[in-house]
């Protein structure tokens, strides 16, 4: 007898995303554009569930079975946008990734001028799960600010502040050292709103002039050089996220870029 999940299947956009053909949102746009068929018929709404017995194509190409969930660590350089396409024509992180990487999505974002650890995955469901605030993972940053902060000055960040009507949860903030006109801080967040660190620092009178993410939950930037990508071992992905079937391929760093000789 078939289980309920086998009978009802999954939403078509989720199936396309799990097969690595597009993100869930991109898949919905492809459907609305009439570029997806199910069992030979063009569909025009993402409000459809499909099962393994249905034949789905995107732009005439049948979906392959979804890959096992995989994850990579990537050291983002400043000056790159965390998006697949940029309306202003700025370079993106996906222009910088190695040729041999499969189609991946970023877990969250780092803004244009920020650098450091960005997690990549081939699995849309894993991406969404890791981005949820309920995951509770601490994201740590090394932050250089212009000014002479004191513990008293930083205390509002530890208590939780409201910036432009938006409440930021309490941060873990330590003052590491003063270096001339600048100071280095370590900042920890459990949820990351848009430009949260920069906006919070500006609110207490400090200007961020360098921001490096050094960890995301249990995943560390470590010695990864700018532009390098390293796959997380499947066993680690399984242990940290409780996943079955995570693929353990190629854990060594990769430096080769698209459009450049290897």
Q: SS3 sequence, 235-253?
A: HHHHHHHCCCCCCCCCCCC
Contact status, residue 61 vs residue 67, Cβ threshold 8 Å: no
What is the rounded CA–CA span in Å between residue 218 and residue 135?
A: 12
Diameter over CA atoms, the chain = 71
User: Is 138-216 the same fold as 71-134+218-241?
Assistant: yes
3-class SS of residue 25: helix
Half-sphere exposure of 132 (CA within 13 A, CB side): 9
pLDDT at 192: 75
Instruction: Record the pTM.
Output: 0.74
Q: How far apart are CA 130 and CA 137, in angstroms?
A: 9
Low-confidence ranges of the chain (pLDDT < 70): 1-7, 66, 242-262
Please report, for the chain, the start and end positions of each structural domain, with discontinuous segments joined by +.
4-62, 71-134+218-241, 138-216
CA 253 to chain centre: 18
Rounded CA-CA distance 147/179 in Å is: 10
CA–CA dist 160, 156 (Å, integer): 6
Q: What fold, for 138-216?
A: Alpha-Beta Plaits (3.30.70)
Count Cβ atoms within 10 A of the Cβ of residue 162 and give its class: 0-12 exposed, 13-18 middle, 19 or more buried.
Answer: exposed
Question: What is the rounded distance in angstroms from the CA atom of residue 227 to the CA atom of residue 96?
Answer: 7
The C-alpha atoms of residue 30 and residue 72 are separated, in whole angstroms, by: 26
DSSP string, 54-95: S-EEETTEEPPPPPPP-EEEEEEPTT-BSSS--TT---BHHH
pLDDT value for 6: 41
Rounded to the nearest 10°, the torsion over CA 185, 190, 192, 196 is -40
Active centre residues (catalytic): 111
pLDDT computed for residue 56 by the predictor:
94
CATH topology of domain 4-62: 3.10.290
pLDDT score of 243: 52
Which pLDDT score, from 0 to 100, does residue 254 have?
A: 56
Q: What is the pLDDT of residue 128?
A: 81
| Fold of the domain built from segment(s) 71-134+218-241 | Alpha-Beta Plaits (3.30.70)
End-to-end CA distance of the chain: 52
């Amino acid at each position: 007898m078939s289980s309920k999940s086998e009978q009802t299947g999954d939403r078509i956009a989720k199936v396309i995303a799990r097969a690595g053909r597009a993100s869930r949102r991109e898949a919905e746009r492809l459907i609305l554009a009439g570029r997806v068929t199910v069992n030979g018929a063009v569909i025009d709404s993402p409000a459809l569930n499909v099962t393994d017995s249905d034949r789905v194509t995107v732009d005439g190409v049948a979906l392959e079975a979804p890959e096992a969930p995989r994850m990579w660590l990537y050291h983002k350089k400043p000056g790159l946008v965390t998006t697949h396409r940029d309306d202003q024509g700025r370079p993106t992180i996906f222009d910088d990734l190695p040729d041999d990487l499969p189609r991946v999505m970023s877990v969250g974002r780092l803004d244009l001028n920020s650098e450091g650890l960005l997690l990549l995955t081939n699995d849309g469901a894993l991406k969404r799960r890791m981005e949820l605030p309920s995951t509770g993972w601490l994201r740590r940053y090394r932050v250089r600010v212009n000014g002479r902060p004191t513990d008293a000055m930083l205390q509002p960040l530890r208590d939780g502040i409201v910036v432009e009507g938006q409440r930021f949860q309490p941060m873990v903030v330590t003052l590491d050292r003063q270096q001339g006109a600048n100071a280095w801080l370590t900042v920890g967040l459990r949820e990351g709103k848009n430009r949260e660190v920069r906006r919070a620092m500006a609110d207490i009178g400090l200007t961020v002039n360098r921001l490096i993410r050094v960890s995301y939950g249990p995943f560390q930037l470590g010695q990864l050089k700018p532009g390098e990508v390293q796959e997380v071992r499947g066993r680690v992905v399984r242990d940290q996220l409780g996943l079955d079937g995570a693929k353990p391929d190629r854990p060594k760093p990769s430096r080769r870029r698209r459009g450049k000789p290897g």
